[in-house]
Homo-oligomer: A and B are copies of this chain.
Amino acid sequence: MNQIKIAQFGLGPIGVESLKLVASKPWATIVGAVDIDPDKIGKSLAEITGIEKLADCKIYPTFEHLWEQHQPQVVLHTAGSKAKEAIDQMAPMAKLGVSVASTCEELLYPSHRAPAEAKLIDDICCRHDARIVGTGVNPGFVMDVMPVFLTGVCRSVKRIHSERVVNASTRRMPLQKKIGSGITPDEFRRMFQEGKLGHAGFQESVALIAHCMGWKLDEITETCEPMVADHDIKTDFFEVSKGLACGLHQRCEGKIKGESKIELDLKMYLDAEDPKDTVHIEGDPPLSMQILGGVEGDRATVAALVNAVPRLLRAPAGLRLMTELPVPSWTNNE
């Protein structure tokens, strides 16, 4: 297999996990990483990951600094949820013909919130033979790409419903915080309104499904209510008293003439019982799918990102959607 030269952009928890996983792939050669944290800049990736063979790979303050030393073919981008900011960061990469796989949630369907920027970066990609895709587990798989995948055996589709229940007690600290653990229900609602809390990229999941189904939605609605602890809860990171928020119940719908065509329902909370992923396709044939226990978010997100790389390079140049890439597949570690 041809070696793919890879750089990591962003060394938060997901970025470090991404590096560790891609280091195990026989098709990948890691050349370095980029992070803005002064404590990390200049260090070696062996120090950050514990993987000795990365001793010669350094952390640079900007992509330009990294490019002076190394010319990666692909960047793994794990730095933020906003499509516009991500596209700003990716433009210099695309101009050099570097492709990017990203966990940026809004990049799942970038033209939803950043139509002008999406068009611009798509043009840059096409001119310079680069490819960009936003991926992950959710958004990126369980509540959007998987329902689309299932419709591949449908003669007709009337409505799509997907429900995900995540037990946040087993997840990393930033996620437990992001879902509002330990704050009051009023504070929860205020913070969601201010965009400081909640699951990012939910509207993009609805927009991606609608795009694939050929449905022109009239509106996308989104609500988020706190899940309230009915007992005192203690995790590795939080103590939540009964009556305080212990997670979120977020819903996003896509409608045509007032009729709901796509309904996504997400509960992420501490001590959640019966975690699962379900998809119901109202169509011909109808389909009712369930993943028992659900897909574990943190570990699987990094897998989705790394597994996307070889497929991304086989797709046509441009700003791509996950559904435009070949069928998702594990890439062997041997």
Contacts and interface: CB of A to CB of B under 8 A. Distances in A.
A149 interface: yes
Give how many copies assemble into the complex.
2
A283 B299 CA distance: 11
Contacts of A233: none
A300 to B, nearest CB: 4
A153 B304 contact: yes
A324 to B, nearest CB: 5
A51 interface: no
B149 A327 contact: yes
A151 interface: yes
A149 B328 contact: yes
Nearest to A211: B329
Given A153-B300, A153-B303, A290-B290, A323 B330 contact: no
Interface of A is mostly: mixed
Nearest to A298: B285
Interface string A301-330: 111101110000010100000111111111
Nearest to A155: B303
Interface string A136-152: 01000110011011011
A288 B326 CA distance: 23
Contacts of A331: 214
B289 A290 contact: yes
Interface string A272-289: 000000000001110111
Contacts of A316: 314
A322 B327 contact: yes
A304 B21 contact: no
A191 interface: no
Contact of A289 (B214, B289, B296): B289
Contact of A295 (B285, B296, B322, B327): B285
A76 to B, nearest CB: 14
A314 B321 CA distance: 14
Contacts of A152: 141, 303-304, 307-308, 327-330
A28 to B, nearest CB: 14
A332 B154 CA distance: 10
A295 B291 contact: no
Contact of A293 (B154, B283, B288, B332): B288
7 contacts: A154-B303, A155-B299, A155-B303, A214-B334, A285-B296, A288-B291, A325-B327
Q: When A and B form their complex, which 9 residue pairs have the shortest distance between CB atoms, in order from nearest?
A: A152-B328, A214-B332, A151-B330, A153-B300, A285-B296, A323-B327, A155-B303, A288-B292, A212-B329
